[in-house]
Amino acid sequence: FRIVSYNLNDERVRERHESVVRCIEQLAPHILCTQEGSPEQLYNIQQSLLHPDWRYVGDSFDEWDTANAIFYRSDLFELLRTN
């Protein structure tokens, strides 16, 4: 299996979207971990993932406008629990 981790913290969210999606498509991960993603970034990534079985879980931080998320292929992995 392939796992990819990507830090999304960047003020140029809209400018980077296409390059982030291309990178994810080329690496073709089975699990994608993101750090410091804005709600807009996480939504756009979820909408851009090509496989229909992508799901994600994540933590948001009240004092920040970002979240950490783990995207996973639900046809390959089962979510057992979260905190």
* Cβ atoms within 10 Å, residue 3: 12
Cα-to-chain-centroid distance, residue 27: 13
Question: Residue 68 and residue 64: Cα distance in Å, rounded?
Answer: 11
What are the beta bridge partners of residue 55? 72
Mean pLDDT of the 3-12 span: 83
Sign of CA dihedral 15, 12, 65, 56: positive
Is the pLDDT confidence value at 73 over 90?
Answer: yes
User: Which has the minimum average pLDDT: 25-34, 47-56, 60-69?
Assistant: 60-69
pLDDT at 2 over 90: yes
